[in-house]
Chain A
Amino acid sequence: MKLFISAITVFLAATPACAAHWNVDYAHSKLGFTVQWANEPFTATFKTWKAAIDFDPADLTHARADVTINIASEASDESDFDSGLQGAEGFAATQFSTAHFVATKFRQGSGNSYTANGTLTLKSISKPVTLAFTLDINAKTAHMVGTAHVIRTDYGVGRGEWAAPTPVAHDVKVDIDITAAQN
C-alpha cells in the first residue's frame, strides 16, 4: 500500500509535464518540403506521420517534440518524381522506411516565434536541425507553422547523377503546419 501511494505521488509529480501534451489534428496539419528542381520549385508532402508534442510556453525546459515520418507516404503532383525520390538513389524508402525528428531545446524569440533545436534522423544518418516556428494558442487549440532547412546530401538523399546541386538543389525547405488540441 505504501509502495502504491508513493507510486501515485511520483505519477502526480510527473503530471505537470504531461498536462502540456497536444494532440495533433492530422486532417488539418501538413508536413512537406520544397526544393528547387531545374528552374522551378518542387513541393511534396508526407501523408503519414505522427507527432508527440509536449509544449507549454511557460515551461520550455520540459518542451519536447517527437515526429516520425513515413517516407513512403511522400506524394506530389509528379508521380514519376515520387517513384524516383523513394528509390535507391533518393530516400531508399524500402530500406529506410521512416525519418525521425526529436527536439528538446526550445527558445522563445520575439512575440509568438520560437526555435527548436533537434536532431533529424534520415536514412540512418542523424544531424542537428533547427526548426523555426510561430505558435498561436487559443484556449485549447494551437496552430503552429514552422520551417527548417535541411541539406539533402548530408543524409545521402540523391546519389549518383542526383548528387550534384543541379538539377535538384541541396538545400531543402521543410514546412510543417500543425493544428493541435489539448486534452
Chain B
Amino acid sequence: MTTANSRTRYGTVAMTLHWLIAALVITNICLGLYFSDLPRSDPNLFMLVQTHKSIGLTVLVLSLLRLGWRLVNPVPPLPAGMSAPMRFLAHASHFLLYFLIIAIPLSGWALVSASKLGLPTMYFGLFQWPNISLLSDLTREQKGPLHELFDNTHVILAWSAIVLVPIHIAAALYHQFWRRDDVLKRMLPGTQVSGTP
C-alpha cells in the first residue's frame, strides 16, 4: 500500500481522508438531526451545537485537503466494463459529494457568522474559531434574512447528503456484490485488488 493513488487503488492519504470524512459527516448528520428537534432550553444544546460546529469545520478543512490531494493525485479510473450512463452517474454523484462536503460546512459557518446571537464557536473547546467577518460585522437587521437564507441552504444541502450518501453506499455494494469488481476494495485498507483497473 502506498501513500499516493495508483492506477488500481487509492493510496493511504485518500483512504484516510475518505473514511475520516465519512465518519465525521455521518456523525454530524445524526447530531444535526438530533439537536434541531431539542427545545432551546435543553441544557446539552450548547455543547451539542459546539461539537457539531467543530466536527463540521474539521470536515471543511479535510475536504479542502482532499480536493487538493485529488487534483494533484489522479484517482484510479472506473472499471472498464461500465456503460456511459453509469459512468456519468458515478462521476456526477462523486462531484456532488465533493460539492456537499465543502458546501455544507461552508453554509454552516455562514449561518453561524450571520447569527444575531453572536455566540463564539469554540473549536473542540481549544480555541475560538473566527466568524466570517463580512457577515458577523453586519447589523442584526441585516443578519436576519441572511441567517435564514444560510440556515435553509444548510438544511437543504444536508438533506441532499442524507439522500446521496445511502446511494453512494448502495453503489459501492452494487460494485462489490453485483458487478464483483474492485471499486469498493480499492478504497478499503488491507485489501488486494487485481492488476487491471
Q: Which residues of A contact B (CB under 8 A)?
A: 37-40, 42, 78, 80-81, 83-84, 87-88, 160-161, 164, 166-167
Using known A-B contacts A161-B46, A166-B120, A167-B119, determine if residue A38 contacts B41 with beta carbons closer than 8 Å.
no
Using known A-B contacts A83-B40, A87-B41, A88-B41, determine if residue A38 contacts B46 with beta carbons closer than 8 Å.
no
The 6 A-B pairs of least Cβ separation, nearest first, read A38-B118, A167-B118, A161-B46, A87-B41, A40-B139, A161-B119
Q: Is B8 an interface residue (CB 8 A)?
A: no
Q: List B contacts of A80 (CB < 8 A).
A: 116
Q: List B contacts of A83 (CB < 8 A).
A: 40
Q: List B contacts of A39 (CB < 8 A).
A: 118, 136-137, 139
Interface residues of B in 30-45 (CB under 8 A from A): 40-41, 43
Contact, CB under 8 Å: B116 / A78 = yes
A-B contact pairs, 22 of them (CB 8 A): A37-B118, A38-B116, A38-B117, A38-B136, A38-B140, A39-B118, A39-B139, A42-B140, A78-B116, A78-B140, A80-B116, A81-B117, A83-B40, A84-B40, A88-B41, A160-B46, A161-B46, A161-B119, A164-B120, A166-B120, A167-B119, A167-B120
Which of B116, B136, B137 has the most A CB atoms < 10 Å from its CB?
B116
Q: List A contacts of B139 (CB < 8 A).
A: 39-40
Contact, CB under 8 Å: A40 / B40 = no
The docked-state distance in angstroms from the alpha carbon of A84 to that of B40 is 8
Q: List A contacts of B118 (CB < 8 A).
A: 37-39, 166-167
Q: Distance in Å from the Cβ of B148 to the closest Cβ of chain A?
A: 12
B137's nearest neighbour on chain A, judged by CB, is A39
Q: CB-defined interface of B158-185 with A at 8 Å, one 1/0 digit per residue?
A: 0000000000000000000000000000
Interface size class of B (residues with CB under 8 A): 10 to 19
Which of B40, B117, B136, B139 has the most A CB atoms < 10 Å from its CB?
B117
The docked-state distance in angstroms from the alpha carbon of A80 to that of B144 is 11
Q: Distance in Å from the Cβ of B125 to the closest Cβ of chain A?
A: 12
The docked-state distance in angstroms from the alpha carbon of A42 to that of B141 is 12
Q: List A contacts of B119 (CB < 8 A).
A: 161, 167
Q: List B contacts of A167 (CB < 8 A).
A: 117-120
Q: Distance in Å from the Cβ of B30 to the closest Cβ of chain A?
A: 22
Q: Distance in Å from the Cβ of A170 to the closest Cβ of chain B?
A: 15
Which of B40, B117, B120 meets A87, CB within 8 Å? B40
Q: Distance in Å from the Cβ of B104 to the closest Cβ of chain A?
A: 24
Q: List B contacts of A164 (CB < 8 A).
A: 120
Q: List A contacts of B117 (CB < 8 A).
A: 38, 81, 84, 167
Q: Distance in Å from the Cβ of A98 to the closest Cβ of chain B?
A: 21
The docked-state distance in angstroms from the alpha carbon of A53 to that of B139 is 39
Q: List A contacts of B46 (CB < 8 A).
A: 160-161
Q: Distance in Å from the Cβ of B59 to the closest Cβ of chain A?
A: 23
The docked-state distance in angstroms from the alpha carbon of A115 to that of B41 is 39
A39's nearest neighbour on chain B, judged by CB, is B137
Q: Distance in Å from the Cβ of B38 to the closest Cβ of chain A?
A: 13
The docked-state distance in angstroms from the alpha carbon of A42 to that of B117 is 11
The docked-state distance in angstroms from the alpha carbon of A69 to that of B85 is 70
The docked-state distance in angstroms from the alpha carbon of A83 to that of B136 is 22
